[in-house]
Amino acid sequence: MESITHFLINLLIILVSLLFFQGFVIKNHLKRTHLEFYMFLTLTISVSLCMMFPLTLPGGIPFDLRFIPLVLGCLYASRYTGVWLVALIVVLRIAIHGFENSWFAIGNAIIFSCICFTIREKFKQYSLAQKVTLQVSLFIGMSIWVLTGSKLLFQSPITVSFTFAYTGIHAAGIGLAIFMAEHIKNQHLLLLRLIRSEKAEVASHLASSISHEVRNPLTASRGFLQLLSESSDIPEKEKAYIDLAISEIDSADHIIRDYLTFAKPTAEKIEILEMNKEIQQAIQIVEPMAKQFKVEIHSQLDSAFITGSSGLLQQVLVNIMRNGIEAMSTGGTLTVHSVREQTSLLISVKDDGIGMSQQQINRLGEPYFSTKDLKGTGLGMMVVYRIVESMKGNIHIDSKKGIGTTIFIRLPYMTDAEERKIS
């Protein structure tokens, strides 16, 4: 009974820490860097308090639930936080209990953290049920390993009731902790989307209210300049100035067109699109630009049909491919893949360019934010996000500075039964 009380106190410490962290995240709208810091602080406190309130068996071997915050740090926080938690466990264990009774626990912490770091990337792709099942199974195995090692190496008096208490509370604890961590992560993502949506709504209202009024005088001005350029009374030198003015008006018209697309991305004409042809058409459009930047384009495409507007889809694909090409100013390879998943088509566009920081990735798609400094308006990716959302898809970006960027687009495709009805 005493063992259950100690372990429940440890579990309470961990869950209360996560609840405080969740409340702080929601209240303060934390950015990524601040989020990492407070996650680091929360997990450090959890590990420290768990190790300060262990259940010590006769022979001086302590047992606690420090592995739960350690796993959360290795899977959800940065790798630096995970390494710090391992170092903290090593230092506290030796300081409190000495190395003689700690070497086995230190080895377990290192091994267990390495396992978590190894599965970290695949773990992110699992569903909530898969994540909980995997960690519960892993903790049951880890608990049996720890208890067996303590019994054989240190002759700890491990009873059947203690085994069930340690293993059961460990498994239940990691299940609850993973559930809470996923809930906090989803709430934070929802909050970021809400903030982005509010900013987008402001830009949308602005775009729809003034774009038409600005476009009409631009169209008239372009027409009169076109007439002037065709006049034989104007010298060739002055015609060059007129051509430049027409070019700048066309650039302004292009920006306004992006604004209008952003304000109302829903297509009036919905078609059945074969993605192979759409992607290949987008590649043909950007090929001249790719040759200019000495970029090779490689593609490997799966066949799939989606419903949507060809014009809007081309705008998405061409914008993303152009951004990838522009990121490789000294040349490189642009790789375009499409793969059928269970319910969606995954399109990836990978470049070998300059890459982006996490802060830039987080802001990509916001109104007026661009990674091209003064050369970009930020409207391209803003429109891309809006169109993909209108097609019930989503975008994920993976990028590292100096290595390159991969943009993933998931779009729902038509099932085989729906395709047969069409054919």
| CATH number of the domain where residue 112 is located | 1.10.1760
C-alpha 288/C-alpha 322 separation (Å) is 11
**CATH number of the structural domain spanning residue 406:** 3.30.565.10
Looking at the fold, whether 13 and 161 belong to one and the same domain comes out as: yes
Mean pLDDT for 316-320 is 90
Statement to judge: residues 301 and 165 lie in one domain: no
Separation between Cα atoms, residue 126 and residue 166, nearest integer Å: 27
Q: What is the pLDDT of residues 58-108, one digit of tens each?
A: 777 888 999 999 999 999 988 899 999 999 999 998 888 888 878 898 999
Query: Looking at the structure, do residues 169 and 95 belong to the same domain, yes or no?
Result: yes
Q: Which residue has the higher pLDDT, 239 or 264?
A: 239
Overall number of domains in the chain: 3
Residues 87 and 214 in one domain: no
133, 29: one domain: yes
**How far is the C-alpha of 358 from the C-alpha of 326, rounded, in Å?**
19
Same domain, 114 and 248: no
232 and 291 in a single domain? The answer is no
166 and 234 in a common domain: no
Determine the structural domain holding residue 405 and report its residue range.
Answer: 271-422
Q: Same structural domain for residues 339 and 203? A: no
Q: Are residues 185 and 207 in the same domain?
A: no
Q: Which residues contact 336 (CB under 8 A, 6 or more apart)?
A: 279, 283, 297, 298, 299, 300, 301, 321, 347, 348, 349, 350
Q: What string of DSSP letters covers 395-417?
A: EEEEEETTTEEEEEEEEE---HH
Which of 193, 209, 235 corresponds to the end of one domain? 193
User: 401 and 289 share a domain?
Assistant: yes
Same domain, 221 and 293: no
Q: Which of 193, 228, 251 is the last residue of a domain?
A: 193
What residues pair up with 298 in beta bridges, in sequence order? 335
pLDDT at residue 375 greater than cutoff 60:
no
pLDDT digits (tens, 9 = 90+) for 172-226: 999 999 999 988 888 877 777 777 666 666 666 666 666 666 777 877 888 878 8
Q: Which of 159, 50, 160 is nearest to 105 (CA)?
A: 50
Among residues 139, 173, 193, the one where a domain terminates is: 193
